[in-house]
Amino acid sequence: MRFSTRKILFSGIAAGAAVVALGGAAAASGHQAADALPVAPGHEGEGEYTAGNYWLQVRELTADGEGFGTAVAPGTTYYSKTLHGSDSWKPTVLKFSVGEAPEAPTVFSYPIPAEGLGVSCVASGTEAAPQVRCETTDAR
């Protein structure tokens, strides 16, 4: 069988694109881990949001879209004490966007975990191709 450099190059590009697409789909799907991650001491039941090399906008919202948001500077971590809301306000979802605009389009969503559990979310990739991964944390 004869292979040309051109065929090998295109085969490699196609295989690479398939790996990137599958990896992106897996990262975008998000999940609540069955075995929750350990939590940073002093931050039990909180949201932990770590930005990649770009601004990460995080919003803790109710089903009606009401809630609070914060901008996390590139390469830093923010801890949220409002993850589970208050007596009068209960968020149900985390929504993430990138850039400095607070109302930028959502690139990833994750459900608020049960009371007493926290969440750890880490952004990676680039601003043009962001990836956000969240996992439920447990103080136990």
Does residue 77 form part of some domain? yes
Exposure string over 116-129, b if 16+ CB within 10 A, otherwise e: ebbbbbbbebebee
Is the model's pLDDT at 74 over the cut of 60?
yes
Does residue 6 form part of some domain? no
Does residue 63 form part of some domain? yes
Give me the pLDDT at residue 103, please: 85
- Residue 111 belongs to domain with CATH number: 2.60.40
Give me the pLDDT at residue 40, please: 65
Does residue 9 form part of some domain? no
User: pLDDT tens digits, residue range 14-58?
Assistant: 444 443 343 444 444 444 444 445 566 666 789 999 999 999 999
How many domains, the chain?
1
Does residue 108 form part of some domain? yes
Alpha-carbon Rg of the chain, whole angstroms?
Answer: 18
User: pLDDT tens digits, residue range 121-134?
Assistant: 999 999 999 999 99
Which structure tokens are listed for 95?
A: 């929504």
0.75 surpassed by pTM: no
Give me the pLDDT at residue 45, please: 86
* CA distances in angstroms from 130 to 28, 39, 97, listed in the order given: 10, 24, 9
Does residue 17 form part of some domain? no
Its domain, for residue 42, covers 31-138
Does residue 102 form part of some domain? yes
Does residue 2 form part of some domain? no
Lowest mean pLDDT among 19-23, 63-67, 73-77: 19-23
User: pLDDT tens digits, residue range 79-105?
Assistant: 999 999 999 999 999 999 999 998 899
